[in-house]
Amino acid sequence: MNERKNKLAIRGLSKRYGAAVALDHVNLDMIDGEFLTMLGPSGSGKTTLLWSVAGLNNPDEGKIWIDGQEATHRPACGRDIGMVFQNYALFPHMTVAQNISFPLEMRKVPAMDRKTAIRQALAMVKLEHVAERYCNQLSGGQQQRIALARAFVANPSIVLMDEPLGALDKKLRDHLQFEIKRLHAELGMTVLYVTHDQEEAMVMSDRICLMNRGQIEQIGTPQELYFQPKTLFAADFLGESNLIAGTIVGEENDCLTLELPGIGTVRVRSGNTPVSGSDIVHFTRPESLSVLLDADLRDNRVRGQVKEVFVSGAITKLFVDVGGASALRVSQLTDYSRCVRKGDIVTIGWADNVGNVFSGKQREAA
């Protein structure tokens, strides 16, 4: 891949609302044409960061560069952006067509070209038939789609989207995810995207930025975030996980021996997470664990009783009581010939390189 230039650079950005810290010294870089999704719990500062990039709130500290030029306090109208607001912000005194035409007018697009652009934008969101309606005559999902069309119509170089698909049904959401990806690929704009839907984030993004309490917890490709979470918070927030508190009892080379209550001794080839102190939390993904047949060999094994079995089509989820505080979650492909029933005694096993260890102190922080 050839070197692409930096589109957006954020350094030490902070924003406070009274005593509440909405953004806390955030650093972020995006290369031109990147699709970056921000994920994080409610109130973690996603919208605030988006607004700073848009130039809608004056950051208290820090700097923003767009295309290598400082733009921290550049007014929003000079940034060549398109934005979908969390509450849509459609102009109630204009029709749908007038709404979509507005960014084009501001960029002094001639009337003829505006017409075609509006038609195409409406076609993308499958709402050609509502062009002459006022926005309060549309359903929530329709409004959301108009907001989307309005953000894209003028081909801005950065598109900011704050949960643009939140109000839509599954099918429409899939369609628009596809459309957004297509437009992104065709037009090459840089997209900063906010969503609560982890699957959406995984599917669409080049990189995911996980936010927590106004800070970036971790940033990386979807795979990195999912399989190599750097912090307990990241591990816990994304997907399902087994988190078990315990202590380190031995260490040799890169292999740790842990004592987990109820489970016993467990070996982990800890990744790159530095651990201080002996109180730790052990992390595994449910899909890394499996129910063993007697002949199977695994680095770690534990026996327990199946408490619940959920079959959701292709995946079967087991909750196995191994005597610890919380049950182990195991998920595997449904195998009809070897189905496990509630109450069965099973052996669970996993390799020593699928787990990870976080410092126990992080638990309070998370």
Ligand X SMILES: Nc1ncnc2c1ncn2[C@@H]1O[C@H](COP(=O)(O)OP(=O)(O)OP(=O)(O)O)[C@@H](O)[C@H]1O
Note the residues at the interface with ligand X (CB under 6 A): 17, 20, 22, 40, 42-48, 86
In whole angstroms, the minimum distance from the beta carbon of 64 to another protein comes to 12
Helix segments in the chain, DSSP class H: 46-54, 96-106, 111-124, 140-152, 170-187, 198-204, 222-227, 232-237, 362-365
In whole angstroms, the minimum distance from the beta carbon of 51 to Mg ion comes to 9
Residue found under tokens 């530095």: 274
By the rule CB under 8 A, 103 interacts with another protein: yes
User: Could you tell me which stretch among 11-19, 46-54, 97-105, 173-181 binds Mg ion (CB under 5 A)?
Assistant: 46-54
State the distance between the two ends of the chain, measured CA to CA, in whole angstroms. Answer: 37
Q: Which does 136 bind (CB under 5 to 8 A by kind): ligand X, another protein, Mg ion, none?
A: another protein
Give me the residues paired with residue 305 across strands. 321, 345
Tokens representing residue 332 in the block: 């595997």
Tokens representing residue 355 in the block: 């787990």
User: Could you tell me which stretch among 70-78, 119-127, 168-176, 211-219 binds another protein (CB under 8 A)?
Assistant: 70-78
Residue of 55, 222, 355, 360 that binds another protein (CB under 8 A): 55
Q: Indicate the residue among 30 and 211 with the shorter CB distance to ligand X.
A: 211
Q: Indicate the residue among 20 and 76 with the shorter CB distance to ligand X.
A: 20
Q: Which does 81 bind (CB under 5 to 8 A by kind): ligand X, Mg ion, another protein, none?
A: another protein
∠ CA(305), CA(307), CA(312), 5° rounding?
125
Q: Is 147 helix (H, G, I), strand (E, B) or coil?
A: helix
Whether the CB-CB separation of 333 and 254 falls below 8 Å is answered with no
Residue of 76, 185, 293, 315 that binds another protein (CB under 8 A): 76
In whole angstroms, the minimum distance from the beta carbon of 13 to Mg ion comes to 16
Neighbours of 242 (CB within 10 A): 22
Please give the residues from 146 up to 165 whose contact with another protein meets the rule CB under 8 A: 150, 154, 160
Tokens representing residue 219 in the block: 């940033």
By the rule CB under 8 A, 360 interacts with another protein: no
By the rule CB under 8 A, 102 interacts with another protein: yes
Q: Got the DSSP string for 54-76?
A: HT-S--SEEEEEETTEE-TT--G
Determine the distance from the C-alpha atom of residue 228 to the mean position of all C-alpha atoms in its chain, rounded to a whole number: 15
User: Could you tell me which stretch among 81-89, 191-199, 308-316, 355-363 binds another protein (CB under 8 A)?
Assistant: 81-89
> How far is CA 44 from each of CA 105, 198, 206, 241, 298, rounded to the nearest angstrom?
35, 15, 21, 21, 39
Residue of 13, 15, 37, 47 that binds Mg ion (CB under 5 A): 47
By the rule CB under 8 A, 4 interacts with another protein: no
Binding site for Mg ion (CB under 5 A): 47
Binding site for another protein (CB under 8 A): 51, 54-56, 58, 72-73, 75-83, 85, 87, 89-93, 102-103, 106-107, 134, 136-137, 150, 154, 160
